[in-house]
Amino acid sequence: MRLSYIIDLIIAMMGSMSNQRTLDTRRVDSHIEKLNQLVWFQQLFAEEKYRKLFITNYKIRHYLDSPFRVKRLENSTKTQERFLKLLNKQLAKGRKRSI
Protein backbone atom coordinates (compact mmCIF):
# COMPACT_ATOMS: atom_id res chain seq x y z
CA MET A 1 0.00 0.00 0.00
CA ARG A 2 1.11 3.48 -0.72
CA LEU A 3 1.76 5.79 2.20
CA SER A 4 -0.50 8.52 0.80
CA TYR A 5 -3.38 6.01 0.67
CA ILE A 6 -2.87 5.12 4.34
CA ILE A 7 -2.69 8.78 5.36
CA ASP A 8 -5.87 9.57 3.38
CA LEU A 9 -7.59 6.62 5.05
CA ILE A 10 -6.61 7.78 8.55
CA ILE A 11 -7.79 11.31 7.82
CA ALA A 12 -11.10 10.02 6.48
CA MET A 13 -11.59 7.84 9.56
CA MET A 14 -10.84 10.71 11.90
CA GLY A 15 -13.27 12.93 10.01
CA SER A 16 -16.03 10.34 10.24
CA MET A 17 -15.54 10.05 14.02
CA SER A 18 -16.35 13.71 14.44
CA ASN A 19 -20.09 14.15 14.00
CA GLN A 20 -19.73 17.90 14.49
CA ARG A 21 -18.36 18.37 11.01
CA THR A 22 -20.79 20.07 8.64
CA LEU A 23 -20.96 19.67 4.90
CA ASP A 24 -18.89 22.00 2.79
CA THR A 25 -21.35 22.73 -0.01
CA ARG A 26 -18.74 24.29 -2.27
CA ARG A 27 -16.44 21.30 -1.89
CA VAL A 28 -19.28 18.85 -2.60
CA ASP A 29 -20.26 20.82 -5.71
CA SER A 30 -16.65 20.95 -6.90
CA HIS A 31 -16.33 17.19 -6.37
CA ILE A 32 -19.50 16.65 -8.42
CA GLU A 33 -18.03 18.84 -11.19
CA LYS A 34 -14.79 16.86 -11.04
CA LEU A 35 -16.60 13.52 -11.20
CA ASN A 36 -18.80 14.81 -14.02
CA GLN A 37 -15.73 14.67 -16.26
CA LEU A 38 -15.94 10.87 -16.08
CA VAL A 39 -18.27 9.02 -18.46
CA TRP A 40 -19.78 6.67 -15.86
CA PHE A 41 -20.69 9.63 -13.62
CA GLN A 42 -22.08 11.64 -16.55
CA GLN A 43 -24.47 8.75 -17.23
CA LEU A 44 -25.64 8.79 -13.60
CA PHE A 45 -25.93 12.57 -13.51
CA ALA A 46 -28.01 12.53 -16.71
CA GLU A 47 -30.72 10.54 -14.90
CA GLU A 48 -33.01 12.86 -12.96
CA LYS A 49 -33.53 10.44 -10.06
CA TYR A 50 -29.79 10.35 -9.33
CA ARG A 51 -29.23 14.05 -10.03
CA LYS A 52 -31.82 14.89 -7.37
CA LEU A 53 -29.92 12.75 -4.86
CA PHE A 54 -26.68 14.59 -5.60
CA ILE A 55 -28.44 17.85 -4.83
CA THR A 56 -30.76 17.02 -1.93
CA ASN A 57 -29.73 13.80 -0.18
CA TYR A 58 -27.58 14.38 2.92
CA LYS A 59 -25.95 10.92 2.91
CA ILE A 60 -24.93 11.23 -0.72
CA ARG A 61 -23.63 14.78 -0.24
CA HIS A 62 -21.77 13.67 2.89
CA TYR A 63 -20.18 10.86 0.89
CA LEU A 64 -19.13 13.30 -1.83
CA ASP A 65 -17.74 15.76 0.72
CA SER A 66 -14.73 13.51 1.28
CA PRO A 67 -11.73 14.08 -1.03
CA PHE A 68 -10.58 10.56 -0.15
CA ARG A 69 -13.85 8.97 -1.31
CA VAL A 70 -13.98 11.07 -4.48
CA LYS A 71 -10.44 10.03 -5.36
CA ARG A 72 -11.46 6.40 -4.84
CA LEU A 73 -14.50 6.91 -7.09
CA GLU A 74 -12.23 8.25 -9.81
CA ASN A 75 -9.88 5.27 -9.66
CA SER A 76 -11.80 2.19 -8.54
CA THR A 77 -14.60 0.40 -10.36
CA LYS A 78 -15.45 -1.50 -7.16
CA THR A 79 -15.93 1.80 -5.33
CA GLN A 80 -18.08 3.04 -8.22
CA GLU A 81 -20.27 -0.07 -7.91
CA ARG A 82 -20.62 0.44 -4.15
CA PHE A 83 -21.53 4.09 -4.74
CA LEU A 84 -24.25 3.04 -7.19
CA LYS A 85 -25.61 0.64 -4.54
CA LEU A 86 -25.66 3.52 -2.04
CA LEU A 87 -27.54 5.68 -4.56
CA ASN A 88 -30.12 2.96 -5.15
CA LYS A 89 -30.50 2.37 -1.41
CA GLN A 90 -31.19 6.06 -0.88
CA LEU A 91 -33.70 6.03 -3.76
CA ALA A 92 -35.50 3.09 -2.17
CA LYS A 93 -35.65 4.88 1.18
CA GLY A 94 -37.11 7.95 -0.51
CA ARG A 95 -39.80 5.86 -2.19
CA LYS A 96 -40.78 4.23 1.11
CA ARG A 97 -41.21 7.65 2.74
CA SER A 98 -43.42 8.92 -0.07
CA ILE A 99 -45.80 5.93 0.14
The residues, any chain, with a CB within 8 Å of residue 17's CB and separated by 6 or more, are none
Tell me the chain's radius of gyration from C-alpha atoms.
Answer: 14
Dihedral sign for Cα atoms in the order 20, 88, 5, 65: negative
Position 18 scores a pLDDT of 53
Higher pLDDT, 14 or 70: 70
pLDDT tens figures, 40-89: 999 999 999 999 999 999 999 999 999 999 999 999 999 999 999 999 99
If pLDDT is split at 50, 70 and 90, which confidence band does 34 have?
very high
If pLDDT is split at 50, 70 and 90, which confidence band does 99 have?
low
Please tell me whether the overall predicted TM-score, pTM, comes out greater than 0.85 for this model: no
CA distance linking residue 56 with residue 38, whole number of Å: 21
